[in-house]
Structure 1
Amino acid sequence: MTFFEKPIRALPGYGFGLLALLAATGASAQASLGPAAPTLPNSPAVPTLTQTPPPVPAGRVTVSAAAVFANNGQPIRSGLAWRIYEDRGDASQPAVVNRSSSPTPTFNLPPGNYIMHVAYGYASAMKRLSVQSGIVNERMTINAGALKLKGAVGDSPIPPGKLSFSVYVPIAQNSEGRLVVANAKANDIIRLPEGTYHVVSTYGDANAIMRSDLKVESGRVTEATLNHRAATVTLKLVGSAGGEAFAGTAFSVLTPGGDVIREAIGAFPSVTLAEGDYVLIARHEGKVHTRDFKVESGLDRDIEIVVPPT
């Protein structure tokens, strides 16, 4: 099984409308060079579409289809979503008349004009067809690649469950111009059109965030590890150093300038923070306690506030 035969996590509702795709046919993103990407394993040639077909139903046209990668013509064997639209020749949204998830589907259609659309993750291709009789063979070419993302702190990998990734298409001077994928997980295979993307990696649920620009090449998987400078700290309010933590304590973590980074309630909540200086505030039984602390990358530790004796 190749990388491209694994599922991806997709952002529900994302995608260009078909009319926009028709207007943008032939366009592809161009980008600066990014990290090297492994090529996909060699695959057999695209199955021939000229083998003896089953009889064509009366009054119908058989349309057989396949899709290949743009850079090497290798077949795409899974992850495809085909749709056949009625081409009405006006500005209205075309109606879907057939669909398939087969890598090499066969459609039996009445003679007429159609739009064939195939999606591979967030990459796609389309073509207008005019079919009148017999058998029609179509091979679609898709400029598709993929990202496979991980995270680390120094030489230590970050557990996949503690990471999430967002992928953006830069627009003009805005690196986060348009969100493409939200909340992708580590090791997901994210299929995308060829081009350069801005990736945001979030470690935990506070401010441990790293960014990188990555290039996706057709027919290749770009693997990248985003290195965070962060650590996980456990917050405690105690009666003595190393003592038992007080339950029901409300904690706030602030920057030295007073911006709230994280709030939590409990005896010893944990929070992952970017390297830097912070202020910890603990509220318990109507009293407020504070201390300054520093986060050093890769150094997970307890941050205690010791309640002075009364």
Structure 2
Amino acid sequence: MERTLLAIGLTTLDVTVRPIDALPRAETTTLVEGIALSPAGTAGGAAYVAARLGMPTKLASAVGDDLAGRLVRLALEEGGVDTGLLTRMEGRPTSTTVLAIDSGGRRPNFHALGAGMLAGADAAVVEAAQRADFVHYGGVGGPRLDGGAGAEALRAAKAGGAVTTLDLIALNARVREELQLLLPHVDYFMPSAAEAQALAGTEDLDAAADAFLGWGVKACIIKNGARGAYAVLPTGRHALPAHDIVPVDTTSCGDSYCAGFIAALACGWEPLEACRFAGAAAALVAQGLGTLGRLEGFEAAEQAMRNLPLRAKE
């Protein structure tokens, strides 16, 4: 797989603990099954998974000058991610999330803001976007990206011939305004169903996708958890079921879906088949703890796509 990916936007350190069904009383200790430390975030997590799938990947983001930032950089580099555009911000902590996964797979979390939301798109990032084959944008809401800088990076990517994808961090009052700047330069918008419904003001995923097409995006893939995904592609509209698994940790399933989709496209797969591959990659991630879960590589994800059973339609 020689085609390259640049991921732009949020990077965090995730501390994932399972299971936590209640907080210990006073200062007692409760044993848990596992604790994982992982690079994560809409850019960092997607980059980490894409590299595991064999794709040459570069990350444009930011971490703090603390131990958490050093851990994130080490893990990314050991995972094969090029961190040449991962900025180390003096005097700032690394964005960090503690996720308390309960026995049912739910994931209440605690987040400390940090350098990750201050990722930017300077001249070096724009130049990298022009040279990449794929650019994944996970920076909506970042104060150094919103209002034009992120759109300029995506515009440069399209001018260079890249395939562009976009995922959301979290909704805020200005997301619609920012998306209307970004989506004309995006090939595939990949929100969650909850995000799509809130943005479009409708429960109907078809209508939500139509709204995003009206904002300029070329195609829309709506991730819908255990219900699978709904893909609105130039070739048609497709409801894709999820795999029938017992989830352990669904924290990074959205990021792994995006990464899987991009990696399959990079191998020459058609978009609909790439969606199916993405669902399998996410299913493997969901069966383990942390950003990579039980994902071993591209071939393993392809085998899972062929062999894992699918959930019955609801």
TM-score (norm 2): 0.22
Bigger Rg over Cα? 1
TM-score (norm 1): 0.22
* Higher share in helix: 2
* Higher share in strand: 1
